[in-house]
Amino acid sequence: MTRSVEVAFAVARKDLTSEWRTRELVPALGQFVVLALVIANFGFQIDSQNAATIAPGVLWLALVFAGLVAFGRAFAAEREQASLEAMLLTPASPVAIFAGKALAAALLLIACEVVLLPALALLFGTPLNVALVAAVLLATVGMAALGCLFAAMVARVRAREVLLPLLTLPLWIPFIIAGGQAVQVAMGASGSYNQAVALLIDFDILFVVLTSLAARFVLDD
């Protein structure tokens, strides 16, 4: 058990180190989400009246598509160098390797949220509070588990750029329903924040358990 945790952290550290050395993904994702906000401004004609009602939707749209890019890249380098096969040849369990990849990808998405959330508050004038950050982080956990599972799956299939969103987005919808509700309340709408967050936690537990069970079938060959 402790061995698996060590493997997971080692894989995550490897991914984060390689990102730190190349600095490819996080700057690109940061720029991507700011661009999404600019496009939303022109698409919705944002002003001080409507900003609070539109901002939650913009947040989730930007986050979901940034997430697809982040998780798609998580296995791209492994595929190009065929290094995933090398990792799977080691005695380390595929589930631990998967957990490490998912952890690293989640941290990269959180790095992108560090740009997105303040930019949203700054440009749209919406509140930035603990409730908002907590809801987004909770959604990130489950989205990372699902996103990485399907990214691992499509990495070895052709037309992967098309398939990843098609398979992942419908499964993310529960997180967007509950997370969307929580963020709307955190930005001042009426509703139950606690119920939405409890739901997010339930989904996190369910999908983290399910993806760990399924990871064996996706990675092991």
Partner 1 sequence: MTKTYERLTAVAVLLMLLAAGMIFLYAPEDYLQKEPQRIFYLHVSAAIAAFACFLAVLVGSVIYLRTENARADRLARAAALVGVVLTTVTLVMGMLYAKPIWGTFWTWDARLTSTLVLWIIYAGYLLLRRLAEPGPQVARYAAVAGIFGFVDVPIVYFSVTWWRTVHPGPVIVSNALPPEMLITFLVTMACTLFLAAVMVGIRYRIETLLDEAPSGAEATIRGTQREPELAR
Nearer residue to partner 1 within complex by CB, 120 or 215: 215
170 counts as binding partner 1 under rule CB under 8 A: yes
Task: Show the site string, 190-209: x = touches partner 1 by CB under 8 A, - = not.
Answer: -----x---x---x--x---
Amino acid 80 reads E
Element (H, E) at 210: helix 193-219
Amino acid at 145: A
| C-alpha neighbours within 13 Å on the C-beta side of residue 61 | 14
Q: Binder to partner 1 among 26, 141, 146, 186 (CB under 8 A)?
A: 146
41 CB-near residues (< 8 Å, 6+ apart): 123
- 95 lies in the site for partner 1, by CB under 8 A: no
Query: Of the two residues 110 and 171, which places its CB atom closer to partner 1 in the complex?
Result: 171
Widest pairwise Cα distance in the chain? 58
- Rule CB under 8 A: say whether 30 interacts with partner 1: no
The DSSP secondary structure of 87-100, one letter per residue, reads: HHHSSS-HHHHHHH
Q: Does 144 bind partner 1 (CB under 8 A)?
A: no
Q: What is the DSSP letter of 187?
A: T
Please identify, using beta-carbon distances, which residue of 86 and 122 lies nearer to partner 1: 86
Region binding partner 1 by CB under 8 A among candidate stretches 10-18, 41-49, 122-130, 150-158 = 150-158
- Verify binding: residue 111, partner 1, rule CB under 8 A: no
Query: Any contact of residue 189 with partner 1 (CB under 8 A)?
Result: no
What are the Cα distances from residue 159, in Å, to 58, 64, 153, 156, 164?
A: 27, 20, 12, 10, 9
Rounded (10°) angle between helices 130-154 and 160-186: 170
- Look up residue 166 and give its two tokens: 């098609």
For position 153 contacting partner 1 by CB under 8 A, the verdict is yes
Please say which residue, 122 or 173, places its beta carbon nearer to partner 1: 173
Under the rule (CB under 8 A), what is the footprint of partner 1? Answer: 146, 149-150, 153-154, 156-159, 162-163, 166-167, 169-171, 173-174, 177-178, 181, 195, 199, 203, 206, 210, 214, 217-218, 221
